[in-house]
Amino acid sequence: MATDPRDEIWNAAYFSYYQTYYAEIVEDALIGRWSYFDHVTKIAAAVTSGSSAVAGWALWKHPDYSWVWPLLTTASALLVIFAKQLTVAEKLRDHPNSRIVFSTLRIDLESFRVKMRINPEFPIESFQDELLGFRKRYANEIKRLKHDVLLTQSLREKCQVELNNRVKE
């Protein structure tokens, strides 16, 4: 039994939309995680900086708390080192850029699907070409993404649940 090419375009358009929306949600979640890490690091560094060292001296006067200040400064220093080694600033630049690309592509795919609904007898060749253009944009952005240590299986699953809640079709 032959399949209508329009049905295949519909299916591929939905699949592309779904993949793109998922990638957008993942990027948004990673922005949240890296922003949180960055804020904690900056606050810890500020609290244990030279000007805050005066507060540390107060802890040294109490023998029961003398261990707290070295622990705080060590933890703060380690956070700053991790932030540098994990290239947090780069991630806080790249993830928003990717989110914008995926968001724009998702909206374009939504518009594409609306055009198919408006004209169910859409021209196959031009719509096929347009769909392949969307797929190419998606592939180019996916290739640009780098491995991210904060993208855990748990986060992937949360993003999947969020996507399924958003996409009710």
Q: What is the pTM of this model?
A: 0.84
Q: What is the pLDDT of residues 85-99, one digit of tens each?
A: 878 889 999 999 999
Give the residue-averaged pLDDT of 11-34: 97
Q: Is the predicted pLDDT of residue 59 greater than 60, yes or no?
A: no
Q: What is the pLDDT of residue 106?
A: 98
How many other β-carbons are positioned within 10 Å of the β-carbon of residue 107? 13
Check residue 61 and give its pLDDT. 66
Which pLDDT value is given to residue 88? 86
The domain locations on the chain are: 13-164
Band (pLDDT 50/70/90 cuts) for residue 84 is confident
